[in-house]
Amino acid sequence: MTNQIIFVTGNPHKVAEAVAICAPRGITIVQNDCGYPELQDDDVARVAAYGAEHVVNRLDCAVIVEDTGLYIDALNGFPGPYAAYVYDTIGNAGILTLMRDTGGNDERRATFRSIIGYCKPGMTAITFEGTVTGRIAYEERGAGGFGYDPIFEIDGVAFASMGDDAKNKVSHRAKSFEKFAEWFIRHGKA
């Protein structure tokens, strides 16, 4: 039995967040950037499970993948599971433009969902979800983080302004990795 897990992602920021959560629990995260086809689906959990099952069949070892959705209330849940594509296409500036006429905190409410898909040979993928609700800021702030971090804030503080340690105490990804790590230590050792 080993406490090493392959994390299939091309995003080094996600790997750093995973290591920060998992390493203190004795789980070694090893990045593999082999990629996988992303299922186009409105459910982030199905996307993550599909990715994990695809990768385990190719690598023939225990793997995790992570998929994130950003659900903005004023935009009827957009961009949802298409958050990465939307970020690559219009970026934070585009989201802020879409929300230009959106007013108070309730209208700017947004939820991040992070889903970890875990799979090992011979099993069906299982998923672990972490969520955090905050709001979309009126402008980009902070120099840290990545992706939507400069416009997603909790209690008036953007993820990009928090620093890694503070972000890892409240973020959606930290919560999903904590759930995964707790389960993996008890049940999932590869």
pLDDT at position 36 is: 84
Q: What angle do CA 185, 181, 6 make, to 5 degrees?
A: 95
Interatomic CA distance for residues 182 and 9, integer angstroms: 21
Paired residues of 158 in beta bridges: 153
* Dihedral sign (CA 123, 124, 125, 126): negative
Interatomic CA distance for residues 163 and 16, integer angstroms: 13
pLDDT at position 103 is: 75
Structural domain span for residue 154: 4-188
Interatomic CA distance for residues 158 and 148, integer angstroms: 9
Count of helices and strands (H, E) across the chain:
6, 8
Number of domains into which the chain is organized? 1
pLDDT tens by residue, 93-130? 999 999 998 877 678 999 999 999 999 999 999 999 99
pLDDT at position 190 is: 52
pLDDT at position 2 is: 66
Residues with pLDDT less than 70, the chain? 1-2, 105, 188-190
pLDDT at position 37 is: 77
Catalytic choice (33, 67, 101, 164):
67
164 is catalytic: no
Q: pTM to 2 decimals?
A: 0.91
pLDDT at position 164 is: 86
CATH code of 44's domain? 3.90.950.10
pLDDT at position 105 is: 67
